[in-house]
Chains A and B, each alone.
Chain A
């Protein structure tokens, strides 16, 4: 069973920059906003630490924030959520695979994008492994 971290918060309407700032932070972390209501992430020492600091930062901005460690009561929703997280990274991985099919692919740029998306790949997507293998096999290529 997967343990999840949930975050729910309220920020003042103005300035809107704060809301955008927090929203971007959570997106960058790879969190998913479920039903426009609750942010969700799989629990790990790293994600728990990040959520702890985002929670503290929202409170420091004058907002209210609560975070929980939780598990679902119905087993099936775990699978649904896991799929959502995989979908999120697979979209990017597919784009990278497509770029890697081109003969003169910018390997340096693709590597950078790979690193970014891999940091959000909480459930070890198979596509990620493919991108990694393609990248390592193409290094040193003189085309």
Chain B
């Protein structure tokens, strides 16, 4: 399936791409359109574009929307969603201090990558690592 988002990915969209690839659509192909551009249906399923289904809703990030809409129930992913919420949205409740670091690393990753395709590959590694470590630290 084809997926589309705006250029210049950061903390939320790197997380989304990793999630889509690993949990929702292993065959996913990603396209990046200019910031502010309206996506047309032939581009694929839009995500993290304001007003779309897979976007910020009620103060939650797009990663959270993907989990909810696809009914993915996983404690580690829920924790990552909390981190992305804190990194990417203004929150009253902040309980994941790693969120700010994650945001900085993802921004920096985009800076040192030649394009969004390179950034997304590197971003996947970050979230794979985060997931693995959170799983190790989890109580089960």
Q: Say yes or no: B92 contacts A56, CB within 8 Å.
A: no
- Shortest 5 CB-CB contacts between residues of A and residues of B: A56-B50, A25-B90, A53-B56, A28-B90, A29-B90
Encode B47-66 as 1/0 by CB contact (under 8 A) with A.
00011000111110000000
| A100 CB, min distance to chain B CBs, angstroms | 22
Contact among A26, A28, A55 for B50, CB-based, below 8 A: A55
Q: Verify A57–B92 contact, CB threshold 8 A.
A: no
Besides A49-B10, A56-B55, A59-B50, 8 new A-B residue pairs in contact (Cβ under 8 A), listed by A number: A24-B92, A25-B59, A26-B90, A29-B90, A45-B10, A50-B89, A53-B50, A54-B90
Is the CB of A106 closer than 8 A to any CB of chain B? no
CB pair A50–B90 under 8 Å, yes or no, is yes
B107 on interface, CB distance cutoff 8 Å: yes
Minimum C-beta distance from A15 to chain B (A): 15
- Secondary structure call for the B interface: loop
Closest to B62 in A: A53
- Cβ of B88 within 8 Å of any chain A Cβ, yes or no, is yes
Interface of A: prevailing SS: helix
Using CB atoms and an 8 Å cutoff, list the residues of chain A in contact with chain B. Answer: 24-26, 28-29, 45-46, 49-50, 52-57, 59-60
Interface size class of B (residues with CB under 8 A): 10 to 19
A57 adjacent to B107 (CB under 8 Å): no
Q: Residues of A contacting B56 with CB < 8 Å? A: 53, 56-57
Q: How far is the CA of A126 from the CA of B10 in the complex (A)?
A: 30
B107: chain A residues at CB < 8 Å are: 45-46
Contact A56 B59 (CB under 8 A): no
Name the A residues within 8 Å of B58 (CB-CB): 57, 60
What residues on B are CB-neighbors of A56 within 8 Å?
A: 50-51, 55-56
Q: Which residues of B contact A25 (CB under 8 A)?
A: 59, 90
- Chain B contacts with A in 41-81, Cβ cutoff 8 A: 50-51, 55-59
B90 nearest CB across to chain A (Å): 5
Q: Which residues of A contact B50 (CB under 8 A)?
A: 52-53, 55-56, 59
Write out, one digit per residue, whether chain B residues 120-139 have a CB within 8 A of any chain A CB (1) or not (0): 00000000000000000000
Q: Which A residues are CB-close (under 8 A) to B89?
A: 50, 53
In the complex, how many angstroms separate the beta carbon of A122 from the nearest chain B beta carbon? 15
Chain B residues contacting A52 (CB-CB under 8 Å) are 50
Q: List 9 A-B contacts (CB under 8 A).
A: A45-B10, A49-B88, A52-B50, A53-B88, A54-B90, A56-B50, A57-B56, A60-B57, A60-B58
